Amino acid sequence: MESWRGIGAMARESGLTVSALRFYDGAGVFGPAHVDPRSGYRFYAPDQLVVARLVASLRRVGMPLAGIREVLEHRHDLDVVDGLLGAHLRRLEQGVADARRELSSVRTLLSSPEETPMTTFTVPAAALSDALRAVRFAVGTDPEIPVLGGVLLDVGADAVTVVATDRYRLA
């Protein structure tokens, strides 16, 4: 075990913090090859450094925990990994596009606060009625949590999504 690394050495060489290594171990994503039963010290095998650096890179680009787990599970199948990375990149690009739109709205509000821009859309009454009827069962009725007593209308480029929840059911 001479070339094995303790958690501090693994942290220094991988770019992950000690607490991140402990977190990923606890989450079942990436753990030490050996834990001393007496001291609880964690030891990482030499070949684990590459995997730790991969985790650090995925973390730096904001890959969610489930995505990191999936990339690690399929790391030897480059086609699958390429698909996962591409999907994550598309989510990041959509997030940047959303942020640009929101910042544009902020600039508009700051430059002319008296002229609040409005967005309007038209939905056929029957379609809206059907959509609201479909989610009505999940609208919260707890007076302690009034925020759950509403319905979210999420307007996208091609669709209006209607959502309701009472914390137990989602529709």
* DSSP per-residue letters across 7-74: HHHHHHHHS--HHHHHHHHHTTSS--SEE-TTT--EEE-TTHHHHHHHHHHHHHTT--HHHHHHHHHT
| Whole-number pLDDT of residue 142 | 76
Please compute the mean of the pLDDT values over residues 135-142 and round it to a whole number: 78
Token pair recorded at residue 87: 């999907």
Residue (of 44, 39, 56, 47) closest to 10 by Cα position: 44
Q: Is the pLDDT of residue 120 over 80?
A: no
pTM here? 0.62
Please compute the mean of the pLDDT values over residues 150-171 and round it to a whole number: 76
Summarised one tens digit per residue, pLDDT across range 21-74 is: 999 999 999 999 999 999 999 999 999 999 999 999 999 999 999 999 999 999
Please, which residues have CB within 8 angstroms of residue 67's CB and are 6 or more apart in sequence? 58, 84, 88
Q: Is the pLDDT of residue 118 over 70?
A: no
| Whole-number pLDDT of residue 93 | 95
Residue (of 110, 106, 162) closest to 139 by Cα position: 162
| Whole-number pLDDT of residue 126 | 82
Sign of CA dihedral 99, 24, 87, 50: positive
Q: How wide is the angle at C-alpha 139 spanned by C-alphas 135 and 142, nearest 5°? A: 170
**121 vs 111 pLDDT, higher one:** 111
Cα–Cα distance between 24 and 29 in angstroms, integer? 5
* Partner residues linked to 155 by β-bridges: 160
Residue 144, SS3? coil
Please compute the mean of the pLDDT values over residues 140-151 and round it to a whole number: 77
Q: Is the pLDDT of residue 7 over 90?
A: yes
Please, which residues have CB within 8 angstroms of residue 76's CB and are 6 or more apart in sequence? none
Mean model confidence pLDDT for the chain: 88
